[in-house]
Structures are given as C-alpha cells and as structure tokens.
Structure 1
Amino acid sequence: MPRPVPAATAALQVLRYLSERTSPVPAARIAADLGLPRSTTYHLLVAMAAESFVVHYPDDQLWGVGVAAWEVGQGYTRQAPLTRLARLPIARLVDSLGLSAHLAVLLGSEVVYLVEERAAGRARLVTDVGVRLPAHLTASGRAILAGLSPAQVRALYPSRTNLVRRTEVGPQTLAELRGLLAATRHRGWAEEDSEVTEGFASVAIRLDSPSNLAAVAVTWQSPLEVDVAVVLDRLRTTVATIEARLR
C-alpha cells in the first residue's frame, strides 16, 4: 500500500477548505478548523501561494483560492455536465438573435466564463472562456448574487472597498448594490449597461441548478437592434432548456 504523504494531504485539505468558503479567511482559522499546527499551516500557505494555488491578501491578513486552483479545475470543467449541456442551447440562442451569449459561474466575488458563443460580425467582447470579472458589475453576476442570502452577499462584500469599477458607472455603496439585487429578484432577470465595457449592455437569468451559482447572459453593443423583450423571451427558453437537460 502506498505510504501517505502528510504534507500533500494537508495541502489538499487546505485547498478544499478554501474552495468551500465564500470569502478569504485568516490562517489561524484555517489551522483551527483543520486541526493543523499554525506553523505548518503558514508554511503550506506560503508554498501554495508561490505556485498561485492560494492568494494572500496582506492588507486584511486573509487567504483565498488562487488562480492556479481554478486552472487545474478547468480539466474537469471542460467535461463537466453544466458546460457540456449548456453549449448547444447557447449556440442556438446566439443563432436566433444574432447576439453574443455566455455562461458564467460565481467564484468568490467574481464570475468566471465557462461558455462563450460569439455572434458573427459582432464586436469582440472582453468576456471569454476563463476570463474573470467582478460579479457585481456583470449581469450574470447580479443574477447569481440576487439568489444568495443577505448574509452570503455581506460575506462577499464586507465593505464598499470591494465594489471596484471598470468604467464610470456601477454601484458605489453596499446599499446601492443591495438595491440592484432586490430589483433583479423582483423582475427575475439582471441587467448592466456600460459597467463592464462602455457602450455594451447585457441581460442575464440565473440557472435553477443544484448550486444556483450559474447564469446565462446575452450581450450587445448599444443600441439594441431588436426588442429587449424578445431577447429575454429567448433567454428564458434557453435557460429552461439547460435546466431540463441538467435534470
């Protein structure tokens, strides 16, 4: 029987622990929750950070999941049911509207794009498979955040300093973000306009999936050439198709 490697086991435990948190945590809490010596935990975190599997936030003395962990996960994501089952319905959505569409999932306070279908002849978007963007600025992120509890949203956005901006527009206070999410829940879909890229707008609907942490969005360069009601109607149909496939 192969001999266990305690350091490797502990590193994997730390990585799994961090991946299950909704926000970064201090090293002392990691050590306490996993039953590891503090010195061992610290050395593991430093080694893992050197390889980008975890990231250190020095201002807050917190640790979170790093980009390398996500990149390794792509080996699974490329074959994951959600990605595989969503790709064809999203491609059909793009063909029917002549607009670009994508599937994104929530990772901490960011969204990661897993499926990107671009409409022919349309301007290139900043979104692409593997791209990460602040969740509170994107329609996909808002659709997902609106389905979280107030406590979960507070954990992801503990202060207004977490509300970064890419353009001149976007929520600047936590109260403003809560208002946007409340409006999203009320109407059943999310929107953004020029908050990711100036001159581009999106609408998105959250998937009713086991994790409820995914959404499908349609993006266009303003002005929109078709009625937004038509976009939403076809987007709802696409989301329902993906949900049925997942079931």
Structure 2
Amino acid sequence: MSEVPAVTRALALLRLLASRATPVPAGALARELGLPRSTTYHLLAVLEAEGFVVHLPEERAYGLGVSVFELGSAYLRHEPLERLARPLLARLVDRVGGTAHLGVLHGNETLYLLKEAPRGAVLLVTDVGVRLPAHLTAVGRAMLAALPRAQVRALYPGVGSFVDRTGRGPSTPGQLRTLLAEEAARGWAEEDGHVTEGIASVAAAVLDHAGRPAAGVGVTFEGTSRPAPRERAELARVVVATAATLSRRLSPRTGARA
C-alpha cells in the first residue's frame, strides 16, 4: 500500500484517462476507481492546474493535458527502452551467438531500434532504423501475438495488407490468425527464410505494465549457424527470459528489478 495515497490516486486517474479513447466524466472516474466524488474533483482540480488534465465543459468530461505530452516527449528523448535493453542484448549475444535485435511495432511494420552482433557476423537487412513487414519477422509476430485480435484485424484487414519477400510466411488474414494463435500459446515466435533466404530468427515480446507489447527481442542466425528446429525451443527459452527481464525493467511494479 502506498504511503502517499494522494499520489497513488492521482496516478490512477491519469492511467484511466490514458486508457480511454475519449474524455471521461468525473463521476465515471470516481465510480471506476472507487473514490469519493469530492476526492476525485479535488485531484482533478490539482491535475488541471498543473496541466496534466484538461476540463472540457461542453462535454462535462476530462481528458489528458499538455503536460502529459511533454513528459512523454521527454521520455522518448532519454531513449530508456534502448538504454535498458542494450546490456541485455549484449549478454544474449554472448550466451547464444547470433545477432540480437530490439524492435517495436510501427503500424504493421517492425521498426528496429537496437542491434547487437558478435564479431564477424554477416551483415543483415535488420539494421537499426530499418522497417520490415511485421508479419514476416519473428520480432514483429511476437508483438502481434500479444495484441488483441481486433487490433490485429485493423492492421491486416485483407490480403492487400500482406507483403511478400521470399514466398514464405502468412499471406492472408486467416493464415496470420492461425500462426499468431500458435505463437501466443507457445510464448515465442519464429521465422525461417520469411525475410531473407537462409536466415532464421526467434523472438519474444516485451510487455508493459498493462500486458501490452512494448517491444520485441529477437535473435537471428544465418547459414550453417542456424539452429535446427528442435534446438530452437531451448534458444527461445533464453530469448523469452531476456524479454521478461526487460519487461520487469520497464515496469518494476510487475516484478523484481533485474
């Protein structure tokens, strides 16, 4: 239990507003959080004065204020995701070899933010700043598998949403749904030659405090170093553990610091 209940309640208000697509009336906020209406109005008044919420009188509701945007922008400038992930990816490379990546979803593409490679590694298309079709990459599908099905349908409404690179990988919404269901149940994703012939990858999702995919961690192998299918499960366990550690670092409330 927090020793500063007012702070805890104010943060709960902000999280609730952030989870909604439209402004929320004060009465609804009070009911959902189990707070007295007087307490709710007091907290909203303080947050409004500091710019963290804005009152919309015509709608009789509250939304997030510009101070939240400023904090979010400052968060991005500090590159916390990359900073937290870099040492973990370096350990992952030392342990299993191959090239480790950190990626995020950008629409229906995987955007690569970080890359750690062993000495002498072959150059891969998955470099920092590169975007690839998420349904073809292991990192992308690990994140897609952690999304609600409705969101996946919005990203892939029809066959026109699918890009082909090597003739492998899902090419219809139905194929993608089946593959994502299998990978969600297993806890990790894999691809073999979906992006580049002779290249295989395994990946796992990094989850935020709400269980949403914040990023994906993957390891890529090429040529003779590619693990056989029966060896990928053991490799995947290491990747899953790395992703879980990064999840805890992003959201310490979900577990112990690693």
| TM-score in terms of structure 1 length | 0.66
Aligned to 1:166: 165
Cα separation, 2, equivalents of 1:215 and 1:112: 10
Cα separation, 2, equivalents of 1:139 and 1:108: 16
| TM superposition shift of 1:85 | 0.3
Aligned to 1:70: none
Match of 1:243, SS state, is helix
Cα separation, 1, equivalents of 2:204 and 2:75: 24
| TM superposition shift of 1:230 | 3.3
Cα separation, 2, equivalents of 1:74 and 1:102: 24
- Judged with a 3 Å threshold, the aligned counterparts in structure 2 of structure 1 residues 119 and 181 are, in CA distance, closer, same or farther, namely same
User: Contact (CA 8 Å) 1:207, 1:213: kept in 2 or not?
Assistant: yes
User: Contact (CA 8 Å) 1:202, 1:219: kept in 2 or not?
Assistant: yes
* 2:131 corresponds to 1:132: yes
Amino acid at match of 1:208: L
Greater than 6 Å deviation, 4+ residue runs: 73-76
RMSD (Å), alpha carbons: 2.3
Cα separation, 1, equivalents of 2:106 and 2:139: 12
* 2:225 corresponds to 1:221: no
Deviations 1:138-188, CA, capped at 9 Å, x for gaps: 001111111111211111011101111111212121111111101111111
Equivalent of 1:238, from 237, 242, 248? Answer: 242
Number of positions where the alignment pairs a residue of Structure 1 with one of Structure 2: 177
User: Contact (CA 8 Å) 1:78, 1:84: kept in 2 or not?
Assistant: no
User: Contact (CA 8 Å) 1:77, 1:83: kept in 2 or not?
Assistant: no
5+ residue gaps, structure 1: 1-20, 22-72
Percent identical among aligned pairs is 52
User: Contact (CA 8 Å) 1:101, 1:116: kept in 2 or not?
Assistant: yes
5+ residue gaps, structure 2: 1-20, 22-71, 253-258
| TM-score in terms of structure 2 length | 0.63
Match of 1:83, SS state, is helix
Cα separation, 2, equivalents of 1:236 and 1:102: 13
Cα separation, 2, equivalents of 1:116 and 1:88: 11
Amino acid at match of 1:98: G
Larger Rg: 2
